[in-house]
Amino acid sequence: MSNDRPGSGHVEPGGIADAIALDAVAVVSSFLPNDLVAALRARAKACDAAGEFVAAGVGRGSARALHTDQRGDRIRWIDEAPADAAERGFLAALEGVRADVNRTLALGAFALEAHYALYPPGAGYRRHLDRFRDDDARVLSVVAYLNDAWHADDGGALRLHLDSGPRDVLPAGGTLVAFLSASVAHEVLPASRERISIAGWFRRR
Ligand code: OGA
Ligand code: MN
| Full domain range(s) for residue 123 | 2-57+85-203
Residue 156 sits in a domain of what CATH number?
2.60.120.620
- pLDDT in the model for residue 58: 67
Q: How much is the average pLDDT of 46-59?
A: 90
Residue 66 lies in a domain: no
Rounded distance from Cα 52 to ligand 2 centre (Å): 21
pLDDT at 62: 65
Q: Is residue 89 part of a domain?
A: yes
Q: What is the pLDDT of residue 67?
A: 67
182: number of Cβ within 10 Å: 14
Q: How far apart are the first and last CA of the chain?
A: 36
What average pLDDT does this structure show over 22-38? 96
Does 137 fall in a domain?
Answer: yes
The reported pTM is 0.93
Tell me, in angstroms, the distance from the centre of ligand 2 to residue 86's CA.
Answer: 23
User: What pLDDT is recorded for position 135?
Assistant: 77
Taking the CA of residue 56 as reference, the ligand 1 atom at the shortest distance is 5
> Which residues touch 94 (CB under 8 Å, ≥6 apart)?
112, 114, 142, 200
Query: What tens digit of pLDDT does each residue of 94-151 get?
Result: 999 999 999 888 888 789 999 999 999 999 999 999 987 667 899 999 999 999 999 9
The protein residue whose alpha carbon is closest to atom 5 in ligand 1 is: 199
Compute the distance from residue 188 Cα to the ligand 1 centre, in Å.
6
**If you take atom 9 of ligand 1, which residue's CA is the nearest one?**
199
In a domain, 185, yes or no: yes
Query: Which residue did the predictor score with more confidence, 131 or 40?
Result: 40
> What pLDDT is recorded for position 80?
94
Report the domain count for the chain.
1
Ligand (nearest to CA of 119): 1
